[in-house]
């Protein structure tokens, strides 16, 4: 039982990473109904930018985190402008294939530039363990959870309280009507990509710090699981994406605690299938009938 409780605690920290990534998926889908499969590679680029800022420029962790988030936001906007905006009026399958193409381009570009080998992420923060009864928690885990929660709250405040957040909500409901009301749709969509990419970069840096390892393929599996988390919670719904991320993290660590670590991915996808059979729109989603 103690092992299971310890793994549940670990699952909260892992789930916060999935939640940050899932938020990017769900925001983009909510705005333009696109599954941005290159989102996992933005997460990977965030880890490498953090590696560069800390290792090469000798910056502290928090300045490197902020710069990585800004850099990823710029990359996200550029990808949207060059790859997705020209296809906005085309079929969804064309945009989906383009997203997969961008994903492979970023992966292979990093492999060509830096090589496929894993790199040791610099330990910019000294590792410490704390014992709370029989539960063991590290300062890195606490940092991951705190930063993730702060970013999630900040995102919710941006979406609910700011003028750009209101524009995002308007565009997600009806882009044409929003444009008629004077909202700059292109700028709103670009801002959404910037926000999602910044969150992904933060997740990439945090996971690099936690596992002390980054590589050009590090975004593939977390990217897919975060997409599962977004669908599980209700794609297009911000609280649903966060909830889905924590559920996936907890489920994965519980599976490991029960001795089925080889099947943790299968269990995650099995849960997705079960939830979608019961609630096709996800845990917090609402079924909406589309007119044909």
What is the CB neighbour count within 10 angstroms for residue 269? 12
User: Where in the chain are the domains?
Assistant: 25-220
pLDDT recorded at residue 288: 53
Residue 212 in contact with residue 121, Cβ under 8 Å? yes
pLDDT recorded at residue 241: 87
> What is the tens place of the pLDDT at every residue in 164-183?
999 999 998 888 899 988 99
pLDDT recorded at residue 136: 83
As a whole number of angstroms, the distance between CA 18 and CA 230 comes to: 9
| Cα dist from 219 to 19, 99, 121, 276, whole Å | 14, 14, 15, 25
* Alpha-carbon Rg for the chain in angstroms: 19
- DSSP label of 119: B
What is the CB neighbour count within 10 angstroms for residue 124? 19
> What is the tens place of the pLDDT at every residue in 42-92?
999 999 999 999 998 888 999 999 999 999 999 999 999 999 999 888 888
pLDDT recorded at residue 292: 37
Q: What is the pTM of this model?
A: 0.90
pLDDT recorded at residue 102: 94
- pLDDT tens-place values along the chain, 292 residues long: 677 778 788 888 888 999 989 998 898 888 888 888 899 999 999 999 999 999 988 889 999 999 999 999 999 999 999 999 998 888 888 988 999 999 999 999 999 998 889 999 988 888 888 887 778 888 888 899 899 999 999 998 999 899 999 999 999 888 889 998 899 999 999 999 999 999 999 999 999 988 888 999 999 988 888 988 888 888 878 888 889 898 898 888 888 888 888 888 888 888 888 888 888 888 887 655 544 3
- DSSP label of 235: T
As a whole number of angstroms, the distance between CA 128 and CA 7 comes to: 18
pLDDT recorded at residue 281: 81
pLDDT recorded at residue 290: 45
DSSP lists the bridge partners of residue 138 as 129
How does DSSP assign 175-235, residue by residue? HHHHHHTT--HHHHHHHHHHHHHHHHHHHHHHHHHHHT-B-TTTTHHHHHHHHHHHHHH-T
As a whole number of angstroms, the distance between CA 287 and CA 222 comes to: 27
pLDDT recorded at residue 291: 41
Residue 30 in contact with residue 237, Cβ under 8 Å? yes
Residue 51 in contact with residue 212, Cβ under 8 Å? no
pLDDT recorded at residue 68: 95
Residues whose CB falls within 8 Å of the CB of residue 179, separated by 6 or more in sequence, listed in order:
185
């Amino acid at each position: 039982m103690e092992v299971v409780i310890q793994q549940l605690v670990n699952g909260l920290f892992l789930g916060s990473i999935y939640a940050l990534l899932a938020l990017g998926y769900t925001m983009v889908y909510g705005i333009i109904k696109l599954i941005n499969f290159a989102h996992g590679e933005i997460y990977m680029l965030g880890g490498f930018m953090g590696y560069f800022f800390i290792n090469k420029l000798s910056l502290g962790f928090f300045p490197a985190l902020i710069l990585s988030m800004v850099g990823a936001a710029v990359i996200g906007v550029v990808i949207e402008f060059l790859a997705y905006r020209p296809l906005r009026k085309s079929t969804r399958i064309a945009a989906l294939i383009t997203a997969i193409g961008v994903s492979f381009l970023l992966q292979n570009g990093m492999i060509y530039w830096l090589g496929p080998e894993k790199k040791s992420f610099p330990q910019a923060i000294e590792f410490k363990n704390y014992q709370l009864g029989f539960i063991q928690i590290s300062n890195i885990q606490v940092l991951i959870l705190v930063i993730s929660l702060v970013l999630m709250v900040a995102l919710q405040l941006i979406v609910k309280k700011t003028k750009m957040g209101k524009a995002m909500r308007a565009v997600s409901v009806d882009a044409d009507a929003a444009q008629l009301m004077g909202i700059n749709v292109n700028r709103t969509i670009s801002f959404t990509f910037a926000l999602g990419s910044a969150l992904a970069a933060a997740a990439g840096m945090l996971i690099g710090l936690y596992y002390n390892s980054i590589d050009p393929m590090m975004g593939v599996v977390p990217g897919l699981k975060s997409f599962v988390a977004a669908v599980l919670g209700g794609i297009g719904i911000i609280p649903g994406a966060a909830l889905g991320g924590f559920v996936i993290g907890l489920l994965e660590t519980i599976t490991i605690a029960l001795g089925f670590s080889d099947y943790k991915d299968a269990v995650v996808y099995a849960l997705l299938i079960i939830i979608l059979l019961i609630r096709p729109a996800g845990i917090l989603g609402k079924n909406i009938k589309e007119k044909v």
